[in-house]
Amino acid sequence: MNEIYQTYYNSPLGQIELTGTKEGIISIMFREDGEQTKDIPVVLAECYQQIDEYFQGKRHSFSFNYVLNGTEFQNKVWAELAKIPYGETVSYKNIAEGIGNVKAIRAVGRANGKNMLNIVIPCHRVIGANGSLTGYGGGLWRKEWLINHEQKNMGCSKM
């Protein structure tokens, strides 16, 4: 098994734990506190830098390696989430339609909740069909902040 490394980014929304192996990032999650690995691999340093650029409003997409560890259905949902443009929102129904299963709205919501790559796989961009903010593991206040942050920075030069 690959060795697991962790580092922490202090965002405007609190501490974010970045976890990965030498091959790729496996999770980006809001945490209260944690213990940092002394020497981190290049991919973790790249992730840290790109998350910092995101919060500065300079980065709209990510290019570091990451690893999705989900079921076939979850991976399909996460791939659809990754297509949501920066600064835009869609409904759970839109995601269900995008994966070709309009009746899977609740299953899409559950898969969305299992996403371990916050911000990078932009589950925060999924809202209720009526436009309301619904379900976000990091808290609805963070979801609202992230959506507003992206909408505010849409016109900025992007990487």
- Residue 12 has a pLDDT of 94
pLDDT tens across 33-74, in order?
766 667 888 999 999 999 999 999 999 999 999 999 999 999
pLDDT in tens, 131-158: 888 877 788 889 999 999 999 988 665 5
CATH fold of 72-152: Arc Repressor Mutant, subunit A (1.10.10)
Distance CA 56, CA 49 (A): 11
> At the top level of CATH, which class does the domain 5-55 belong to?
alpha beta
Span 11-31, pLDDT tens digits: 999 999 999 999 999 999 998
Supply the residues annotated as catalytic: 123
Q: Where are the domains positioned within the chain? A: 5-55, 72-152
